[in-house]
Structure 1
Amino acid sequence: MLNARAAVVLDAGADPRLTDVQLREPIGDEVLVRIDAVGICHTDVSVAARFRKLPMVFGHEGAGTVTQTGPDATHRVGDQVVLTFASCGSCPHCLADAPAYCAHSTDLNMRGSRRDETSVLHLDGAPIGGGFFGQSSFCTYAIAGSRNAVTLPEPIDPALAAPLGCSVQTGVGAVLNVLAPQPDDALVVFGAGAVGLSAVMGARISGCDTIIAVDPIAQRRALASELGATVAIDPTAVDAAATVLELTGGVAAVLDTTARPDVLAAAIGVLRPRGTLALVGLGALTAELPVAAIMGKGLTVRGVVEGDSEPQTFIPRLVDLHRRGELPLDKLVSRYPFDEFDRAWTAAKSADVVKPVLITGAVGS
């Protein structure tokens, strides 16, 4: 067993607490990764708040260095990797290069591992839950599978690499892989958090002429403008939908990160005929949609998971975009030492920063 430090949710509804844990060795195609940096995502916060199979370690935006491999692993010791969502590799969706829609995605990513002799993580000698998104990277070490550990061709700052595994991949991918706006199209992003701001960057990369960001937080609107938004709207000051329609007459594409029913209704309302609404948020699990408007205008409402990406190819593409200056990841990231996990978690819950990233002692703080 390897000793490590992890943020563990011990009690229902409680925040994670740093404590000592132990990890077993990697088996099969698994790799043991020293976590050099890990982002905190809204999904971590929301799932941790309602998870009941405890104790449990969350975290799904890990970046680090492979230190040990299982006998069937395709990675090598010393590889720098970004950890991302898990997929089975053998279902029809995985075989069609759509692993985000893996038939076993819920079991592999959201339920947590069994608490038995197969458990990766142990606390005081007893097995605890892990395997969140196939990694549970709120820990100084994590075990992942070969499919959800993406080797990077060249070194990159781990703090900037970490959000590529989920937030950045989701936002940029939803634009480039799904909405695919043309230069003369207008695109609206509702919610300028890490995913929404990544979508803004994706729209700029795509060459989209009109990029509108809608968010009530002034700092995020300012950052959206810095990252490529041509218009930033405060929905608490004006009617966002009316403003968008006044500016554009109707847009080709909308990306919603909020999943709020009122925002979804506004998103439908600003689309031009045959436009597309991409849903990437899980703020509300259900919402009414204006069916008559969707049918009458021939709209497409499209759920998007992890940017519709195949991470083994898309994450290296994102790294290349960053190297070329087209994806300024440093604008999103606020760094925290791993031993200040509580402070970073509070910042994530309160939306004080866009993307809190924890840095372990391996690469300094």
Structure 2
Amino acid sequence: MKIKAAVTHSQEKDFTIEEVELSEPKANEVLVKIVATGVCHTDAVARDGGMTPYPVVLGHEGAGIVEKTGDGVKILQPGDHVVLSFAHCGHCENCLTGHPTVCTDFNTLNFGGRMEDQTHRLQKEGNDLSTFFGQSSFGTYAVANERNIVKVDKDVDLALLGPLGCGIQTGSGTVLNRLRPEFGTAIVICGAGSVGLSAIMAAKITGCKHIIAVDLHDSRLDIARELGATHVINGRDGKVVEQIKEITNGGAHYGVETTGVPSVVHQGLQALRPLGALAVVGATPEVNIHVHEEIMAEGKTMVGVVEGDSVPQVFIPKLLEYYKEGLFPFDKLVEFYEFHDINQAFEDSKSGKAIKPILKISS
């Protein structure tokens, strides 16, 4: 079928909306009419850094309505409202023990450009286009495996929900699924973008006594405080570690590092008290760490977390229940853009003007 999609032809090039061909769903796959899709930093990294073969249709925070199902699909049916999340094999040890975010085939399935059967679903004038995250939601329709599709209630605005499939799931899941802070403890969140702010909302749900947000933009720190941060620190003020230790009487028990900036990774580690744990979720380059002084000597832990260590079919419905109860107001992060304004949405995300842009694809 013919669809409209935002195609990336080469590194660091703007998106161009073009007519492309989308194949029918195969066994265990689902055709979804995309209503809206989030703009994530990972899409920008893929566009500019070549993590997926070009040309490619990016997008991995899709939300839409099931249009058609392939053979073998058991859970979903036409008309269902769904959120699309990451691809995973479903049968490796990590998938089978509840950790599909570290599926042994995660990189191949999400960044390799092909579907699980090693074929393509998208073409342009007879030439293959790469798929991203097993979905490529920067299009009017997408085909995805049933495993990475989550059925959601129809009583919530579907256009809001795409970011639950990645960015918002990453921040909140890192706190709720991996760190699991104890009631009354202290947590520091480095970076108050959509991932960090989601972590702040999750920390409030757990009952952390001190929730400290660190960012360079006062506007984002204002939102952090509105969403649950008990203290905010502008990183430009200096002495960030000292301020955190004063607030917490010795250091935070937990930290979430979302920026990917090496100096901030060091800050996050140094701001912990002995036995503290830092979760790194941002795409981070090489960092030189003095293991004895920054980790081992005080029994600290530094762990990488992908997609919030979530099982999307279980975790995303829980987030929606928190949202309905007024405990997880992620809609305050969102700004909507029309599909044809996709390049502006990416610019506004990069500049910090928009925290979580969402592209409205179709009604």
So what's the TM-score if we normalise by structure 2? 0.96
Contact kept? 1:88, 1:104, Cα under 8 Å: yes
Secondary structure of 2:43 counterpart: helix
Partner residue, 1:337: 338
C-alpha root-mean-square deviation of aligned residues, in Å?
A: 1.4
Shift of 1:167: 0.8
Equivalent position amino acid for 1:157 in 2: D
Hey, what's the Cα distance between the residues in 2 that align with 1:25 and 1:108? 19
Distance 1:196 1:117, change over 3 A: closer
Shift of 1:199: 0.1
Secondary structure of 2:53 counterpart: coil
Q: Deviations over 1:252-287 (max 9, x none)?
A: 0000001211111111111111110001000x3321
5 Å-filtered alignment, 1:311-326, equals: 311-326=312-327
Partner residue, 2:70: 70
Equivalent position amino acid for 2:148 in 1: N
Secondary structure of 2:265 counterpart: helix
Please tell me whether residue 273 in structure 1 is matched to residue 264 in structure 2.
no
Equivalent position amino acid for 1:202 in 2: A
Partner residue, 1:257: 258
Contact kept? 2:61, 2:85, Cα under 8 Å: yes
Contact kept? 2:342, 2:359, Cα under 8 Å: yes
Hey, what's the Cα distance between the residues in 2 that align with 1:11 and 1:272? 45
Hey, what's the Cα distance between the residues in 2 that align with 1:82 and 1:16? 23
Q: Deviations over 1:203-248 (max 9, x none)?
A: 0011111100000011110000000000110010232111111211
Hey, what's the Cα distance between the residues in 2 that align with 1:361 and 1:78? 15
Q: Deviations over 1:136-177 (max 9, x none)?
A: 101110011111010113432123211100011111110011
Shift of 1:350: 2.2
Hey, what's the Cα distance between the residues in 1 that align with 2:155 and 2:141? 19
Partner residue, 2:135: 135
Partner residue, 1:211: 211
Q: Bigger CA drift: 4-13 or 87-96? A: 4-13
Q: Bigger CA drift: 313-322 or 284-293? A: 284-293
Secondary structure of 1:129 counterpart: strand
Partner residue, 1:190: 190
Number of residue-to-residue matches in the alignment: 358
Partner residue, 1:290: 290
5 Å-filtered alignment, 1:102-113, equals: 102-113=103-114
Shift of 1:182: 1.7
Secondary structure of 1:181 counterpart: coil
Q: Deviations over 1:21-80 (max 9, x none)?
A: 110100000000000010000010012101162111110000000001101112100110
Contact kept? 2:34, 2:362, Cα under 8 Å: no
Partner residue, 1:23: 22
Contact kept? 2:172, 2:201, Cα under 8 Å: yes
Shift of 1:117: 9.5
Equivalent position amino acid for 2:32 in 1: V
Partner residue, 1:149: 149
Hey, what's the Cα distance between the residues in 2 that align with 1:322 and 1:20? 36
Hey, what's the Cα distance between the residues in 1 that align with 2:58 and 2:210? 37
Hey, what's the Cα distance between the residues in 2 that align with 1:296 and 1:276? 13
Identity of aligned residues (%): 44
Hey, what's the Cα distance between the residues in 1 that align with 2:84 and 2:362? 19
Equivalent position amino acid for 1:241 in 2: V
Secondary structure of 2:2 counterpart: strand
Contact kept? 1:189, 1:256, Cα under 8 Å: yes
Partner residue, 1:79: 80
Shift of 1:329: 1.6
Q: Which runs of 5+ in 1 are unaligned?
A: none
Hey, what's the Cα distance between the residues in 2 that align with 1:153 and 1:230? 32
Hey, what's the Cα distance between the residues in 2 that align with 1:23 and 1:322? 34
Hey, what's the Cα distance between the residues in 2 that align with 1:28 and 1:260? 42
Q: Which runs of 5+ in 2 are unaligned?
A: none
Please tell me whether residue 13 in structure 1 is matched to residue 12 in structure 2.
yes
Partner residue, 2:99: 98
